[in-house]
Amino acid sequence: MKTGYVALIGRPNVGKSTLLNRLLGQKLSIVSRKPQTTRHRILGIKTTETAQILYLDTPGIHQAASRALNRYLNRTAAAALAGVDVVVWLIDGKGFRGDDPLVFEKLKAVDVPVILAINKVDKVRDKKTLLPLIDEARRRYPFAEIVPVSALRGDNIDALEQAIVNYLPEGLPVYPPDQITDKPERFFAAEIIREKLLHYLGDEVPHRLTVEIEQFREDPDLIAIHAVIWVERESQKPIVIGRKGERLKKVGQQARQELEAFLGRHVYLDLWVKVKKGWSDDERLLKQLGYAD
């Protein structure tokens, strides 16, 4: 039996959460086209007959770390590299760019096998163009393996998983075979609500909002969830709520449906939008809202 921790790292919006969900065979991390969707370290547990793979989905490593929230995201991603057995670095078929030099810097302190996963190859028309990228990658870092994949379509995911298992140490499972994460249900309730908000909002507001679960009450046939959507300015409240409350209503409906499927019970969901000025650039407020190192 092999057991070990695997950190999934990379720049924002490269597909780490989509890859985690594909590797697990079910949705655990929320996904969107907006960068910095993942804000926490999320453990996904996959147990097979021969291995227990403990995947760590991480926030995207990025340069713009001027606000407290951005600094927290970078710290969380970097901390996930400590104590893992394998690192999987995701880039896409367009090659190394943007914030990837920061990832190279982080890997200087890593003394475990690093697998390069070239994601989104389904968008590469001529696969021969990947060969120069693979050659470049081998020149720039001693990767243990280089595996082209499509997390969205599932292409070559089995090969990636087998490469990961090959480098895991022998050991007994850490978690029961039916456990898929260490996060509580109320954490995923907040994440699912935030995912629906990301879908309906533009580019600015999502980075200035967060979701806090004020109450998570379980009855035999019903789970009652009361959540607050925190924004930073009064002007952002009507954007989140929408005309005559239509946007918030759609968010609530879709979030409730997904929560019922995730929790396996009927859900009553109550959403409120409130202002907490400057929360994303205040270390104290971040901790209060669950962004704790």
Q: What is the pLDDT of residues 118-153, one digit of tens each?
A: 999 998 888 888 999 999 999 999 999 999 999 999
For 2-166, give the CATH class.
alpha beta
Mean pLDDT of 20-25: 96
- Do residues 153 and 14 make contact, with C-beta atoms less than 8 angstroms apart? no
pLDDT value of position 127: 81
- Do residues 193 and 273 make contact, with C-beta atoms less than 8 angstroms apart? no
Mean pLDDT over the full length of the chain: 93
pLDDT value of position 85: 98
- Do residues 119 and 19 make contact, with C-beta atoms less than 8 angstroms apart? yes
Domain made up of 185-288: CATH architecture: 2-Layer Sandwich (3.30)
Report domain extents, the chain.
Answer: 2-166, 185-288
Q: Reading across the β-sheet that carries 210-218, which strands appear in turn?
A: 210-218, 222-231, 266-275
pLDDT value of position 65: 66
Strands 114-119 and 86-92, by their bridges, are parallel
